């Protein structure tokens, strides 16, 4: 893309397929010149952010092929920072292809993935954090993930990192000045002040890094697994929560042989609820594979609903399975409570069994009947809501990009080493070297320092047209 800066590019910016309308974007130094050859009704000197209506002419002298509303954005006033035209046409695929072909014949180049956002970054309209948030916003699958992406697009994270960058630069400048004037015995800044200012940066980076796990939950969704022995009602509970017959339910043990995943929204967060094959010694090869996938899903899950039959009580093999799990991620679900007379007695007996088995912490426990779909739905979604609220993921800025986490983790490590050297009064040259590495990592996140590998990593996931 670096060699294409002087070319004008075009692409369909709305989803492909037939619809009421389609938007084709044309951006670059010759956008107006190329556009006027297809849309002769455009004035020679259009006003930025004004729309013009007329008929489009085929570049192959086939006459008019559609009516369009064209919005003009002047240089420096568009998303890319370049002169841009946005064609709003009827949504026929034939019309879109005719328009794109005509623009290319008149000198435009088809845009590559993320090229419009890349140009916005190169022209200083966005930093790299904001560019990445554009894709995150496009791919957001819940209200909260969209909110977090929009917060970064508006510059929330960028401003915080720029503040840290400024503090590191200030500290570096004073350390290096002290090195230059060391022969004169001059101290440009006191050690306590240096430690105080760098300590603020260290705390800020630590806070950001601590939000990464929550940020990934917001962007990718919570993985919640239903697991347990065959015929305890996992599939029935899945259907109850979704209020639809997603999973097949029979009296035959081993009916569910593969993972069945279904998305739902809980408190603005996407939850991927996964039904799994029943845990038992299986002879059938297909069922064995299903059970292996259950075990793998339980290791990767953020939350596990461990379902058992209330009428049979918690069995010894189930207790052994629970002992292998992280109980902080487990909610016990006693299903088929309609078959027992004393629900609270069951709760008491279950907790006693867990204590007798030496399990140090007791997981939260729900007592449900999949036959009562409304109650089952309320209890399981309530448990999910409680689990999310404990993590307080709604009211804070979150780190959710793996690239940011990697570079800021390195920055935090370098900063910690630099602080140790400063505090010990040892080798200001080495302290400066550590701070320079920390500064470089922060600047790589912002895109103030980058190479082709960084840009390729950021823009390869974009769609054409954005």
**Is residue 424 one of the residues assigned to a domain?**
yes
Considering the domain boundaries, does residue 190 fall inside one?
A: yes
Q: Do residues 137 and 116 both lie within one domain?
A: no
- Sequence-ordered strand ranges (E) for 1-108: 9-12, 19-27, 50-57, 64-73, 84-91
Concatenate the DSSP letters of all residues of 115-156 into one string: HHHHHHHHTTSS-HHHHHHHHHHHH--SHHHHHHHHHHHTTH
Task: Determine the Cα–Cα distance for residues 414 and 437; give it in Å rounded to an integer.
Answer: 6
465 lies in a domain? no
Query: Would you say residue 466 lies in a domain?
Result: no
**CATH code of the domain in which 26 resides:** 3.30.1360.120
Place of tokens 């590998």: 453
Strand order from edge to edge, sheet including 330-335: 260-266, 269-275, 222-228, 303-309, 330-335, 364-367
Residues 375 and 262 in one domain: yes
Q: Are residues 326 and 246 in the same domain?
A: yes
Q: What is the CATH number of the domain that holds 240?
A: 3.40.50.300
| Same domain assignment for residues 323 and 415 | no
Q: Do 309 and 221 share a structural domain?
A: yes
Sheet with 64-73, side-by-side order of all strands: 50-57, 64-73, 84-91, 19-27, 9-12, 109-110
- 221 three-class SS: coil
Count of CB atoms within 10 A of residue 364's CB?
Answer: 13
The angle subtended at Cα 449 by Cα 445 and Cα 452, nearest 5°, is: 95
91 with 240, same domain: the answer is no
Residue 93 belongs to domain spanning: 2-125
Is the distance from CB of 218 to CB of 388 less than 8 angstroms? no
| Cβ–Cβ under 8 Å, residues 59 and 101 | yes
Identify whether residues 382 and 420 lie together within a single domain: no
* In a domain? residue 300: yes
Specify whether 269 is located in the same domain as 337.
Answer: yes
d(CA 152, CA 135): 11
CB neighbourhood size of 39 (10 A): 21
Q: Which long-range contacts (CB under 8 A, 24 or more apart) does 44-49 make?
A: 46/72, 47/72, 47/74, 48/72, 48/73, 48/74, 48/77, 49/73, 49/77
Q: What is the pLDDT of residue 391?
A: 65
Per-residue pLDDT of the chain (466 residues; tens, 9 = 90+): 556 668 999 999 998 888 899 999 999 999 999 999 999 999 999 999 999 999 999 998 888 999 999 999 999 999 999 999 999 999 999 999 999 999 999 999 999 989 999 999 999 999 999 998 988 888 887 777 788 888 888 888 999 999 999 999 999 888 888 776 555 555 567 888 889 999 999 999 999 998 888 788 778 788 888 988 888 888 888 888 887 765 544 454 444 545 788 888 887 778 888 888 776 665 666 656 666 777 787 788 888 899 999 889 888 888 888 888 888 888 999 999 989 888 888 888 888 888 888 887 677 899 988 888 889 889 988 888 888 876 655 556 678 888 999 999 999 999 999 999 988 887 788 988 999 999 999 999 999 887 777 788 788 888 888 8
Of 15, 1, 285, 281, whose CA–CA distance to 138 is shortest?
15
Separation in Å, CA 335 to CA 29, 252, 259, 355? 66, 17, 20, 21
Tell me the backbone φ, ψ of residue 41, rounded to 5 degrees.
Answer: -75, -10
Alpha carbons 101 and 214: distance in angstroms, whole number? 45
> Which residue, 390, 414, 442, sits at the end of a domain?
390
Q: Which token pair is 420?
A: 């140790």
Assigned domain for 72 exists: yes
155, 297: one domain: no
Does 426 reside within a domain?
A: yes
What is the reported pLDDT for 257?
Answer: 47
Domain end call among 344, 367, 390: 390
* Helix 128-139 × helix 143-153 angle, to 10°: 160
221 in the same domain as 321: yes
Same domain, 50 and 11: yes
Count of domains observed in the chain: 3
Task: Give the chain's end-to-end CA distance (angstroms, integer).
Answer: 14
Boundary of a domain, candidates 350, 372, 390? 390
| DSSP string of 299-339, one letter each residue | HH-SEEEEEEETTT---HHHHHHHHTS-GGGEEEEEE-GGG
Angstrom distance (rounded) from CA 7 to CA 150: 30
Question: 387 vs 96, 140, 334, 391, 393, CA distance in Å?
Answer: 47, 21, 18, 7, 11
Check whether residue 403 and residue 383 sit in a common domain.
no
CATH of the domain at 423: 1.20.120.430
Rounded to whole angstroms, how far apart are CA atoms 74 and 465? 19
Residue 369 lies inside a defined structural domain of this protein: yes
The answer to whether 71 and 89 are in contact (CB under 8 A) is no
């Amino acid at each position: 893309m670096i060699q294409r800066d002087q070319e004008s590019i075009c692409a369909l910016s709305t989803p492909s397929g037939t619809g009421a309308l389609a938007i084709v974007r044309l951006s670059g130094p010759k956008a107006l010149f190329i556009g006027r050859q297809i849309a002769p009704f455009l004035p020679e000197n259009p006003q930025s952010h004004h729309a013009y209506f007329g008929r489009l002419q085929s570049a192959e002298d086939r006459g008019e092929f559609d009516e369009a509303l064209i919005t003009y954005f002047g240089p420096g006033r568009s998303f890319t920072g370049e002169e841009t035209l946005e064609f709003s046409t009827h949504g026929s695929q034939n019309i879109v292809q005719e328009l794109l072909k005509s623009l290319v014949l008149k000198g435009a180049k088809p845009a590559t993935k993320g090229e419009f956002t890349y140009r916005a970054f190169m022209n200083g309209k966005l930093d790299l954090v904001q560019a990445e948030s554009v894709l995150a916003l496009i791919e957001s699958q819940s209200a909260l993930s969209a909110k977090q992406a929009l917060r970064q697009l508006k510059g929330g994270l960028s401003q915080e990192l720029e503040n840290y960058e400024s503090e590191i630069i200030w500290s570096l400048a004073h350390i290096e000045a002290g090195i230059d004037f060391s022969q004169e015995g001059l101290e440009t800044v006191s050690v306590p002040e240096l430690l105080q200012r760098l300590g603020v940066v260290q705390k800020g980076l630590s806070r950001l890094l601590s939000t990464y796990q929550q940020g990934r939950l917001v962007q990718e969704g919570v993985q919640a697994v239903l697991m347990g022995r065959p015929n305890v009602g996992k599939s029935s509970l899945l259907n109850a929560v979704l209020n639809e017959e997603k999973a097949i339910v029979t009296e035959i043990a081993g009916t569910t042989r593969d993972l069945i995943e279904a998305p739902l929204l809980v408190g603005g967060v996407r939850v991927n609820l996964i039904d799994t094959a029943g845990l038992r010694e299986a002879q059938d090869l297909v069922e064995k594979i299903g059970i292996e996938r259950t075990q793998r899903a339980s290791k990767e899950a953020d939350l596990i609903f461990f379902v058992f039959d209330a009428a049979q009580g918690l069995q010894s093999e189930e207790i052994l399975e629970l002992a292998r799990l992280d109980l902080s991620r487990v909610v016990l679900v006693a299903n088929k409570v309609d078959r027992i007379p004393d629900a609270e007695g069951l709760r008491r007996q279950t907790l006693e069994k867990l204590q007798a088995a030496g399990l140090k912490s007791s997981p939260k426990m729900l007592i449900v009947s999949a036959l009562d779909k409304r109650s089952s739905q309320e209890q399981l979604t309530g448990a999910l809501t409680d689990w999310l609220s404990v993590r307080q993921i709604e009211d804070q800025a979150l780190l959710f990009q793996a690239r940011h986490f990697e570079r800021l983790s390195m920055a935090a490590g370098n900063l910690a080493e630099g602080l140790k050297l400063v505090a010990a009064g040892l080798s200001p040259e080495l302290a400066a070297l550590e701070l320079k590495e920390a500064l470089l990592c922060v600047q790589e996140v912002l895109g103030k320092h980058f190479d082709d590998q960084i840009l390729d990593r950021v823009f390869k996931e974009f769609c054409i047209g954005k």
